[in-house]
Amino acid sequence: MTSASLRRWSWVHKWSSLVCTAFMLLLCLTGLPLIFHHQIGHLLGTEVEAPALPAGTPRVSLDRVMEVAIGRYPGKQGMFVSQEPDDDRIWYVTLADTPTSASDLKQVAVDARTGQALAEPKLDEGIMHIIHSLHVDLFAGLPGTLFLGFMGLLLMAAIVSGVVLYAPFMRKLDFGTVRHDHAPRTRWLDLHNMLGIVTLAWASVVTLTGIINTLADPVIDLWRNDQVSQMTAQYKGLPPPERLGSLQAALDAAVLAQPGMTVRFIAFPGTTFSSPHHYGVFLRGDAPLTARLFTPVLVDAQTTKVTDSRPLPWYVSALLLSQPLHFGDYGGLAMQLLWAALDIATIIVLGSGLYLWLRRGPRRPAKAGAAMASPERLPVDAEEMER
């Protein structure tokens, strides 16, 4: 690689890193507790615990579950009903003033076996809510989410340019060398490069899946305008139903149409994941992969008969698969610990890169006959490679 090419890659690495580093540090720091959000919820007492009952205890009707939930908040209406993938003993009922409400949402956790209200989880309070909001959108809604997606693109540019620069930089050193007998800046440079290459695959996966996650709202809107509009074309122009049919009957019809699958969540008519005339019943499989992929079944909200069901398009499936890869919440505690260790290593990489830039030395004097164009020292820089 020529000296001019090295300088160009060094420029890309420096400026892409500098622009995104502060925000990437924020995402890594907030992402660390989110890896253990269930465990932290248990410690804080915010996780809902289902009481122990004999195995095989029959379930109450979903209609009864809705009665109990709405009884806590008269005047509100159903928005979503969901269950955690690893616990079918609790129904989480989300209520709102209208199907499209974005504020003043209420949630009631109802025991699926007894029909008793267990708790009312707070959707917009607490330290974990603050951390999650910072991580997802910087409290700025969709513009904040898309901004973080752009920062992710800059981080990918920094990763790619760092890889390009790494090979010529390490020609005279063994892999993973940290020169402890050199100046502090050199030691930090070696540590930065070593941790950067070790976490390369993980950082690339988490960055790419994070970018995909920032596109969640546009992806869902595309799916609604494309596939859902086709599935509900026969209802176009019809007024929304004045009275909804049985939610339990709608679930039974959906499960019958897709045997071998279990419910993940149900969207009420008029919400983002349904149409004004349908319950959107989203079913999942039991295998590790299919448990993360949903099959939507549209059920007429009046007649509770299935009207259509189609596999999700590839772009929605990519979004769904990116979420567990991003947060590392699909492999139990061992996976969480691995994700946490790699997250901490990435924090060191980002922090050391910032330190190296702040502690950069003065520009070198130009060689005889050469222009004064020697680049500033970088976390992985051309000057180190040319020695």
The CB density around residue 100, as the number of other CB atoms within 10 Å, is 10
Give the alpha-carbon dihedral of 88, 80, 144, 345, to 10 degrees.
Answer: 0
β-partners of residue 265 are 82, 282
Least confident stretch, 166-180, 209-223, 316-330:
166-180
Count CA atoms within 13 Å of residue 37 on its CB side.
15
Tokens of 285: 């499989």
pTM check: above 0.85: no
State the burial class of residue 278 (Cβ atoms within 10 Å of its Cβ: 0-12, 13-18, 19+): buried
- Cα angle at 207 between 201 and 208, to 5 degrees? 90
Name the more confident of 290 and 21. Answer: 21
User: In the predicted model, what is the mean pLDDT of the chain?
Assistant: 87
- At 127-162, the pLDDT tens digits run 999 999 999 999 999 999 999 999 999 999 999 998
- Segment 301-318 shows an average pLDDT of 94
Place of tokens 């090419």: 5
Residue 263's SS3 state is strand
77 membership: H or E segment, kind and range: strand 77-84
**Tokens (6 digits) for 172:** 């005279």
Q: 365 forms bridges with which residues in the sheet?
A: none
Residue 123 near residue 104 (C-beta atoms within 8 A):
no
Residues 270, 101: Cα–Cα separation, whole Å: 10
Distance of CA 222 to the CA centre of its chain: 19
Average pLDDT over residues 93-112: 94
pLDDT tens readout for residues 195-239: 888 899 999 999 999 999 999 999 999 999 999 999 999 999 999
Q: What distances in angstroms separate CA 97 from CA 74, 293, 383, one per listed residue?
A: 10, 30, 62
Residue written as tokens 């502060």? 22
